[in-house]
Chains A and B, each alone.
Chain A
C-alpha cells in the first residue's frame, strides 16, 4: 500500500516569506507527527495529532510555526516569516494508533520536505 507522502520534496524560499508543507499519512492511521531534521539539532519532534484530540504542540520552536490536520487525514505545516535557521528537512510520520498503545505504535515516515531559506 501507499506510504506517507509529502509535498513538495524541495522548497526554496526567501527570508520573510511564508511556506506550507503538506503531509498525506497512510490511510487509516489516526496519529500524525511532524519532525524536523537539521544539522545542528538532529531529529526534533514538532507536533503530534491524534484523532480528534487537541494536538500536542510542545515541540514547535516558535509561534511562527503552526500545523493543522483536516478531516483527520492530510496535515499542513505552516511556517510564517521564514528565517534562515528554519532551513531543514521536515519529516512527517503516521502510526495506526497513538497515546498509550502497546501495539501498532510504530511510526512510518515520509520522504521529507527539504526547506532552504535564503
Chain B
C-alpha cells in the first residue's frame, strides 16, 4: 500500500517570503516517482516537477526547488520569493515504477498556500 502525507493543511505568507511544503510518503517499492502538482483557483491541476527515486540529486528550477531524501521518505518543495500568483493548493503525489501498477498516482491531502501582497 502506498500513502502520501502532507501535514500542513494551510500556509499563509507575505509576498517575497519563501515557502516550504512538506511531503512524506510510504511505499514498499524500491523504485518510484514523486511529483508536485499545483491547483490554482481555476481548478486545473498543473504539473510542476517529477523526481525519480533512483536519483537523489536535488535541483532548482527557477523559483522552485525540492529536497528529496530517500532515507526519511520525504520530498519537500520550496517556492522562493513567493508571489501572489503562487496562491494555490499544492499536491504531492507518488507513482510506483512497476508495470502492473500502471501509472496511477497516489496523492497527498494537499497544502493550501496563501500569498498575501
Binding site for B on A (CB under 8 A): 31, 33, 35, 42-45, 48, 50, 56, 59, 89, 91, 93, 95, 97-102, 105-112
Map CB proximity to A onto B83-117 as digits: 1 under 8 Å, 0 otherwise. Answer: 00000000100010111001111111110000000
Could you say which interface size class chain B belongs to? Answer: 20 to 34
Q: A43-B105, A102-B52 are in contact. List 9 more A-B contacts (CB 8 A).
A: A31-B102, A43-B91, A43-B110, A45-B105, A48-B104, A100-B97, A105-B103, A109-B44, A111-B42
CA distance A110 to B43 in the complex (A): 9
In Å, the complex CA distance between A108 and B102 comes to: 16
Complex Cα distance, B105 from A98, in Å, reads 11
Known: A42-B110, A89-B43. A102 touches B97 (CB 8 A): yes
A99 and B99 in contact (CB under 8 A), knowing A33-B104, A43-B91? yes
**Contact present for B106 and A100 (CB under 8 Å):** no
| Residue on A nearest B98 in the bound complex, by CB | A100
Residue of B nearest to A41 (CB): B109
Are B104 and A59 in touch, CB under 8 angstroms? yes
A48 to B100, CA, bound (A): 12
Complex: how many Å from CA A59 to CA B103? Answer: 13
Q: Which listed residue (B45, B50, B99, B105) contacts A100, Cβ 8 A?
A: B99
Give B99 Cβ to nearest chain A Cβ, in Å. Answer: 4
